[in-house]
Each structure stands twice: as structure tokens, then as C-alpha cells.
């Protein structure tokens, strides 16, 4: 190891620039969340846990909003319940 190093031509920041469309951010995640993604990547034989987190966030973005999804499920369940009441009422009249 040298006694002195010359950093006069050194550059600050990331050694490898982020690809176009990507941004470096700092985010705090629960340990359990990060461990889950790392384990999933490891079980798949390798890869990048950050890519998996990005994929999960994109899937979430593509989903219906929670309230719209809840309304859809309630409508389906109410329709099914109404059909069931109608069938029971017809059976009791017979």
C-alpha cells in the first residue's frame, strides 16, 4: 500500500452511472421485507433483489385502486347472496 495516493483526477458519485430511466434513491425498508426479497432471489438461483422490488411495485401500480376492487367484490357477493335468497324462497313455496 502506498503512503500517499493522488486523487486530483478523482470523481465523486457512483462509479457506474444509472441506466436511462433509473434513479438512485435512498429508501428505508423493514428488515423482514428486504430479507423476503433477497431470499426469493436466492431461491430462484440468483438475480437482483432490487429488480424484484421494482417488479412488485409495478404490479401494485397496475392494480385497480383498493376502493374500486372492494366495490367490485361487494357487488359480486351481494348478487350471489340475492340469488341464494331467491332460490331458498322458491324452495320454501314448493
pLDDT tens for each residue of 15-43: 778 889 988 889 999 999 999 999 999 99
Q: Could you tell me the residue range of the domain that residue 70 belongs to?
A: 31-88
Q: Which residues contact 49 (CB under 8 A, 6 or more apart)?
A: 34, 37, 38, 40, 41
Its pTM stands at 0.54
Burial 35-44 (b: 16+ CB within 10 A, else e): eebeeebeee
Domain count across the chain: 1
- What value does the mean pLDDT of the chain take? 87
Q: Looking at the domain assignment, is residue 23 inside a domain?
A: no
Q: Is residue 44 part of a domain?
A: yes
Distance CA 56, CA 48 (A): 13
In a domain, 93, yes or no: no
Query: Domain for residue 58, yes or no?
Result: yes
Amino acid at each position: 500500500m502506498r503512503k500517499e495516493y493522488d486523487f486530483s483526477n478523482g470523481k465523486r458519485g457512483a462509479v457506474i452511472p444509472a441506466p436511462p430511466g433509473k434513479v438512485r434513491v435512498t429508501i428505508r425498508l423493514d428488515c423482514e421485507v428486504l430479507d423476503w426479497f433477497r431470499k426469493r432471489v436466492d431461491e430462484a438461483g440468483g438475480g437482483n433483489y432490487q429488480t424484484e422490488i421494482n417488479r412488485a411495485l409495478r404490479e401494485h401500480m397496475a392494480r385497480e385502486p383498493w376502493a374500486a376492487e372492494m366495490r367490485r367484490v361487494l357487488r359480486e357477493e351481494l348478487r350471489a347472496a340475492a340469488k341464494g335468497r331467491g332460490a331458498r324462497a322458491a324452495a320454501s313455496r314448493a
